[in-house]
Structure 1
C-alpha cells in the first residue's frame, strides 16, 4: 500500500511539474498584460507601461520567470492579483469556499439520485419506467447548461417567488401532482396488475395527503418539521434504510433504526432549547452530527443480532438522517423573519450571488440565506449530473446482473435483495469509481457556465476574470489546484477499486 502511494505521489509530482511549466509558457504567451493601456490616451502612458513591465518582471525570460514563480510557490507565496490589488491567497480563499459549497451538495445529490434511478431502471429493463428514464436522462444530458440555468431563473426564482406571494394550490393541481406521483411509483415498482394498482393507490394517497397538509397548515409561509411530521418522516426513513441495508427480515436492525427515531423525538424539545441558549457555529453542527451517528452506532450494537455491525450501520445512517431533519427544522424556523426582511423584500429565491447584502441576522438566518443562494445553481448541476450518473449506473448494473456469479447466487436461493445489493450493486460501482472522483475534481475547478449565469464568485469565475485581465499568478494557482486535485482523484479511484473488489490489490 505505502509503496503504491509513494510511487503514485512521485509520478504525480513529476506530472504536476511538467504541466505547470507548459501551462506557464502557454499562459504567458497568450496574455496581454497591457490590454488596459493599449488604447490609453494618458499623457504618462509610457511611464505606466514601464511600471507594468517592472511590476510583472516582463524583461526577464519566461523560463526564468517560471522558476522564480515555482520557488515562490514552494515557499508558500502564491503571488498577487495585480489588477485587483490583493494577494492570490485571499482571492482563492473566497472562491474555493464558494465552489465547495456548490459542488458538495450538487455532487452528493446527483450521485444518490442518479445511481438509485439507474439501478432501478436496469432492474426494470425494457419496462415503461426504463424507457421513460432513458428518455428523461438523454433529454437532460443534451440540454445546454446555460439554458437550464436560465429556465431555472425564470420558473424556479421568478415563478416561485410570485407563488409565495399568494401560496395557494388548487385541489385540481394537487390531484394532478398526486396522479403523476402514483403513475411514476407504479411504473418503478412494477409487478402484476394488482400490485401496480396497490402501489398507485398508496403513492397517490400519500402525495395527496402531503400536499393537502402543506396547503391546510399554511406550511409555505411557516415551514417546519414538527414532532408528528418528524415521527412520520423518521419512521419512513427507518424502514427505507433497513430495507436497503439489511432487509426487513432483520428485526434487530429495524428495531435499532426505529429506536434512533424515538431518541430523536425525545430530544426534539431539548435540542430546540439548547440552540436558543448557545452560540451556534458550523463546527458545533459537525460535532453534533458526529455525535448523532455515534449514538446510532451504539444503539445498533446494543440491539445486536446475528451481525451487530449491520444493525450499527443501519442505525447510524438513520440517526444521521434524523439529525439532518432536526437541523433543517431549525433553519426553517427563521423563514418568516427571513422572508419579511427588508433586504429580501418578499423574494426569497435569489438569482445571483452567494449572499444577500445588508441582511444581518443570526447563524440560522445566514445559513438559510446561503441555502437559498445555492438552490438554483445546485439544481442546475444536479439535473445535468443526474442524467450522466443514471446512464453510467444503468449500463454498469446491466453488465453485472448478467454475470455468472449472479446466476450462482440466485441458484443458491439467496433473497433477491441480497443478490442485488451485495452481489450486484457493489460490483456495479467499480466503473463509477473512475467517473465520480474525476467529476468531483472537474466541478471543484469551477462550474464555469453555471457560476457565470448565477454570478457566483467561485473558482470558475476567478479563472475567467484572471485570464481576461492577464493576471498570471491567479491563473497558475488555479491550474496548480486543479491539476493536483486531478492527480489525487486518480489515486483515490485506485484505492476505491481495491475497496470495492477484493481481487484488486494496489500493492500488486
Structure 2
C-alpha cells in the first residue's frame, strides 16, 4: 500500500505541472489585466513601463511562468497585485480555515444523511419512502446552489430571522461556538445539497444490486435480522461505487464553495477566488488553482485507499 501511494504521488507531479502550464496560459490569454485596473489613466508611458517592470509583467510569458514555478516550488506564491505587498500565502492561510470548516461540515452532512436514506430506499424499493427520497434527490440535483442559497436567505434570514444572512460570525461580538454554528448552518446545507442528492441515488442503486445477491438471501434464510444483514454484509460490499463518488465530492466542494461563499459572504478561499478573478489578480488565481488541483489528486487517492479498506479483495 505504501509503495502504491508513493507511485501515485509521483504520478501526480507531471499532472499538476500540466495543470499549472495550461492555467497560466489561459490566464495570460484573458483580455484585460491587473495593470489596466491599477494604473492611473494619467500616468505617463514611462511610469507604466516602470510599473510593469516592478511586477515582472513585461517579461515573456514563458519567463514569467518559469519564475512563478521556481518560487512556487519554494513555497512562495508571490504577492498580490491588487493588495500590494500582501503575500498570497498569507491571504490564503487567513481564509483557508473558514473553507475547510465549511467543507468538513458539508461532507459529514452529505454522508450521514444521504447514505442512511439511500439504504432505506433500497430496502423498500417502489414504496412511498422510496418515491419520496427519489423525488427529493432529483430536486436536490436540479436546484442550483445560488438559487437555493438566496431562497433560504429570504425565508430563514429575512422573513423568519432564524439565521444570519451572511458572514462567519456576528460583527464585533465576542467569540462564541454557537454563533459560529449559527452562521454555518445555511451555507453548509446549501453546499451539501447537490452532493447529498447524488450520493443518495448512488447508494440506493448500489445497495439494490447488492441486496439481490445470493449471499444476502442465504444470510436472511439463516434467520439473521434484516438490518444486520444489510449493514454488516450488504453495505460493505456496496460501498465501492459510493466511495468513488465520495472521492469526487472533495474537489467539487471547492467549486461549489466559491458560489456558496459568494452568496453568504463567507470569507473563504472560494470567495477569494471570485474576487481575484474579477480583479485579474494572477498570483492569487494561480495559487488557488494549484490548491484545487491538489484536492483533486488527494480525493482520487483517498478513494483508492478506501477501496482496499472496504473490500480486502482489492490489492495494490
TM-score w.r.t. the length of structure 1 is: 0.59
In the TM superposition, what whole-angstrom CA distance separates every residue of 1:446-469 from its partner, at most 9, and x where no partner exists?
512211111112222111211221
- Give 1:421-440 correspondences, 5 Å limit: 421-440=231-250
CA distance in structure 1 between the partners assigned to 2:268 and 2:287 by the alignment = 14
- Aligned equivalent of 1:63: 62
- Aligned equivalent of 1:150: 150
Cα offset, 1:370, TM superposition: 1.4
1:486 counterpart (269, 279, 296): 296
- Give 1:55-454 correspondences, 5 Å limit: 55-85=54-84, 86-161=86-161, 349-359=163-173, 361=174, 365-444=175-254, 447-454=257-264
- Aligned equivalent of 1:467: 277
RMSD of aligned Cα (Å)? 1.8
Equivalent pairs, count: 314
Cα offset, 1:45, TM superposition: 4.2
Structure with greater Cα Rg: 1
Equivalent residue of 2:179, what SS?
helix
Maintained 8 Å contact 1:35/1:469: no
Maintained 8 Å contact 2:115/2:203: yes
Maintained 8 Å contact 1:446/1:461: no
Cα offset, 1:3, TM superposition: 2.1
CA distance in structure 2 between the partners assigned to 1:471 and 1:366 by the alignment = 34
Equivalent residue of 1:20, what SS?
helix
| Structure 2 residues without counterparts, runs of 5 or longer | none
CA shift in 2, pair 1:37/1:479, >3 Å: closer
- Aligned equivalent of 2:10: 10
In the TM superposition, what whole-angstrom CA distance separates every residue of 1:129-179 from its partner, at most 9, and x where no partner exists?
111111111122211211111111111112332xxxxxxxxxxxxxxxxxx
CA shift in 2, pair 1:48/1:115, >3 Å: farther
CA shift in 2, pair 1:401/1:30, >3 Å: same
CA distance in structure 2 between the partners assigned to 1:480 and 1:463 by the alignment = 12
- Aligned equivalent of 1:455: 265
CA distance in structure 2 between the partners assigned to 1:447 and 1:59 by the alignment = 34
Equivalent residue of 1:136, what SS?
helix
Equivalent residue of 2:126, what SS?
coil
CA shift in 2, pair 1:445/1:132, >3 Å: closer
Cα offset, 1:415, TM superposition: 2.7
CA distance in structure 2 between the partners assigned to 1:131 and 1:91 by the alignment = 46
Maintained 8 Å contact 1:400/1:428: yes
Equivalent residue of 2:238, what SS?
helix
CA distance in structure 2 between the partners assigned to 1:135 and 1:495 by the alignment = 33
TM-score w.r.t. the length of structure 2 is: 0.93
Maintained 8 Å contact 2:191/2:256: no
Maintained 8 Å contact 2:240/2:310: yes
Cα offset, 1:37, TM superposition: 5.6
Cα offset, 1:407, TM superposition: 2.2
- Aligned equivalent of 1:35: 36
| Structure 1 residues without counterparts, runs of 5 or longer | 162-347
CA distance in structure 1 between the partners assigned to 2:298 and 2:31 by the alignment = 29
Cα offset, 1:445, TM superposition: 5.1
CA distance in structure 2 between the partners assigned to 1:155 and 1:470 by the alignment = 35
In the TM superposition, what whole-angstrom CA distance separates every residue of 1:313-341 from its partner, at most 9, and x where no partner exists?
xxxxxxxxxxxxxxxxxxxxxxxxxxxxx
CA distance in structure 1 between the partners assigned to 2:185 and 2:64 by the alignment = 43
